[in-house]
Structure 1
Amino acid sequence: MLKRKIGRLNYDGSVVMFGAASLGNVGQDTANKSIRYALDHGINHFDTAADYGDAEVRLGPIISEVRNDIFLATKTGQRTKEKAKEEIYRSLERMKVDSVDLLQLHAVGTIEELDKCTRKNGSLEAAIEAKEEGLIGGIGITGHGHQAPVTHLEALKRYPFDTVLLPLNYYMYSLPEYKEAFDALMEEATRQETAVRVIKAIAKAPWEEGADRPYNTWYEPFDRQEIIDACVHFVLSFPGLAGFASAGDVDLFPKIVDSVERYGSMTDEEAEKILSSVSGYTTIFGAPTSID
């Protein structure tokens, strides 16, 4: 399994993160099988959140046993110091661990949300306090939507976050404004040794109205192996990228792992040819156009 440094946290993490959103609505047996599959394939980077349904609970039984062998990250979506601190303690209890390697301020995709986190008695203060108490290692920030890179660049001006986590895929990077903002964020993150981790690598489009939804994702994901391979190749081709999160469905996870294990077998030109020819490929965050 390919590994890269998680910024100045200086941990060699698997480039594919086990995105525990996939465990939010499954039973414990299914969760155990998926976690074991990840561990068996050398994945040591696990990423969850307090609001991913029962994900933290599902992680607990196995993760607590291998805690010293993995990088464990969770998130709080609370915006006040008091509520965020309560959620941090709750996350530790649910996962049956004494600490996590990374606590992220969750869903901070706009300046308005950033302001809530960084104001007096905001959630950032809870994270800093938790770090001082040894409950967490690093402090990160996450965000969805087209404003995430601009927001996270501003966040790095306010506080030296250890990680950022935001959307990146071939389509979004083809949008000039998103590309410019993402590149600017990457430049500043590199300067600060902040780890850039991404989500939505294999997101294809919003679900069509009334369409069957065979996957537990809120967007339509790619599920053909060749296209997943191209998507994975695209995001991993960014040399400063620490890793990407797997899609939120246990059935897609093996395909993503397979792609990562074969990373390097596809050229940039081959990936470009595949992704540029996909019909209906668009952003899941509401942009009006698509690549046809």
Structure 2
Amino acid sequence: MLTRKIGRMKYEGSVVMFGAASLGNVTQEEANQSIRHALANGVNHFDVAADYGDAEVRLGPIISEIRNDIFLATKTGQRRKDKAKAEIYRSLERMQVDSVDLLQLHAVGTIEELDKCTAKGGVLEAAIEAKEEGVIGEIGITGHGHQAPATHLEALRRYPFATVLLPLNYYMYSIPEYRADFDALMEEAKKQEVAVRVIKAIAKKPWDEDQQRDYATWYEPFDQQKVIDACVHFVLSFPGLSGFASAGDIHLFPKIVDAVERFGTMNDEEAERVLQSISGYTTIFGAKTSID
């Protein structure tokens, strides 16, 4: 399994993060199988959130036994200090661990949300306090939507976050405004040694209203191996990118791991040919013209 340094934390993490949103609505047995598959294939970077259904609980039985062998990250979506602090300790209890390597301020995709987080009595104060108490290692920030790169760039001006986590895929990077904002964020992250980690690498488009939903993801994902390979090639080819989160469905995880293990066998031109030829490929964050 390919590994990369997670920013200034010096930890060598697998480039594919086990996106534990996939465990939110599965049985413990299904969760155990998926986690064991990850570990057997060298995945040592696990990323979860307090609001991913039962995901933290599903991680607990196995993760608590191998805590020192993995990089463990969770998130809080709370905005007030008191509620965030309670949620941080609840997450530790649910996962049966004493600490996490990374606590992320969740779903901060606009300046308005960032203002709430960094205000007096906001969640950032809770995270800093928890770090001082030794229950979290570092503090990061995550965001969805087209404003996430610009928002995270501003966040890095306000506080030295260790990581950012935001969307990136071939279609989104083809949008000029998004590309410019993402490149500016990458440049600043390099200066500050901030780990850039991404989500939605294999997202194709929003589900159609009458479409049969074969996966637990809130968007339609790519599920053909060749396309997944091209998506993974695209994101992992970014210089300075620490890694990407797997999609939120346990049935897609083995295909994503397979794509990572083949990374380097596909060149840029081939990946672009595959991704450019897809009908209906678009952003999942609002109306844009799709690639047809």
TM-score strictly above 0.5: yes
Alignment correspondent of 2:134:
134
Tell me, what secondary structure is at the counterpart of 1:266?
A: coil
Alignment-mate amino acid for residue 215 of structure 2: Y
Separation in structure 2 between the aligned mates of residue 138 and residue 67 of structure 1, nearest angstrom: 16
Tell me, what secondary structure is at the counterpart of 1:73?
A: strand
Alignment-mate amino acid for residue 87 of structure 2: E
Separation in structure 2 between the aligned mates of residue 75 and residue 162 of structure 1, nearest angstrom: 14
Displacement, 1:258?
Answer: 0.1
2:149 is the alignment partner of 1:149 = yes
Alignment correspondent of 1:190:
190
Displacement, 1:156?
Answer: 0.1
Question: What do residues 127-159 of structure 1 show as CA deviations (whole Å, max 9, x unaligned)?
Answer: 000000000001000000000000000000000
CA RMSD for the aligned pairs? 0.3
Alignment-mate amino acid for residue 225 of structure 1: Q
Q: Mapping of 1:67-216 within 5 angstroms?
A: 67-216=67-216
Separation in structure 2 between the aligned mates of residue 98 and residue 62 of structure 1, nearest angstrom: 14
Alignment correspondent of 2:26:
26
Displacement, 1:210?
Answer: 1.3
Dislocated runs of 4+, deviation >3 Å: none
Separation in structure 2 between the aligned mates of residue 276 and residue 9 of structure 1, nearest angstrom: 36
Displacement, 1:288?
Answer: 2.5
Separation in structure 1 between the aligned mates of residue 29 and residue 277 of structure 2, nearest angstrom: 39
Separation in structure 2 between the aligned mates of residue 189 and residue 115 of structure 1, nearest angstrom: 20
Return the TM-score normalized by structure 2.
1.00
Separation in structure 2 between the aligned mates of residue 108 and residue 287 of structure 1, nearest angstrom: 20
Separation in structure 2 between the aligned mates of residue 288 and residue 235 of structure 1, nearest angstrom: 21
Alignment-mate amino acid for residue 184 of structure 2: A
Tell me, what secondary structure is at the counterpart of 2:243?
A: strand
Separation in structure 2 between the aligned mates of residue 201 and residue 71 of structure 1, nearest angstrom: 21
Alignment correspondent of 2:17:
17
Alignment-mate amino acid for residue 283 of structure 2: T
Alignment correspondent of 1:64:
64
Alignment correspondent of 1:7:
7
Separation in structure 2 between the aligned mates of residue 83 and residue 50 of structure 1, nearest angstrom: 12
Separation in structure 1 between the aligned mates of residue 104 and residue 277 of structure 2, nearest angstrom: 36
Separation in structure 2 between the aligned mates of residue 53 and residue 71 of structure 1, nearest angstrom: 21
What are structure 1's unaligned runs of at least 5 residues? none
Alignment-mate amino acid for residue 192 of structure 1: Q
Alignment-mate amino acid for residue 216 of structure 2: N
Alignment correspondent of 1:44:
44
Alignment-mate amino acid for residue 9 of structure 1: M
Alignment-mate amino acid for residue 91 of structure 1: S
For these two proteins, the number of residue pairs brought into alignment is 292
Alignment-mate amino acid for residue 61 of structure 1: P
Question: What do residues 16-61 of structure 1 show as CA deviations (whole Å, max 9, x unaligned)?
Answer: 0000000000000000000000000000000000000000000000
Separation in structure 1 between the aligned mates of residue 224 and residue 36 of structure 2, nearest angstrom: 24
Separation in structure 2 between the aligned mates of residue 191 and residue 239 of structure 1, nearest angstrom: 13
Displacement, 1:3?
Answer: 0.2
Alignment correspondent of 1:287:
287
Separation in structure 1 between the aligned mates of residue 243 and residue 140 of structure 2, nearest angstrom: 14
Alignment correspondent of 1:247:
247
Question: What do residues 188-245 of structure 1 show as CA deviations (whole Å, max 9, x unaligned)?
Answer: 0000000000000000000001110010000000000000000000000001100000
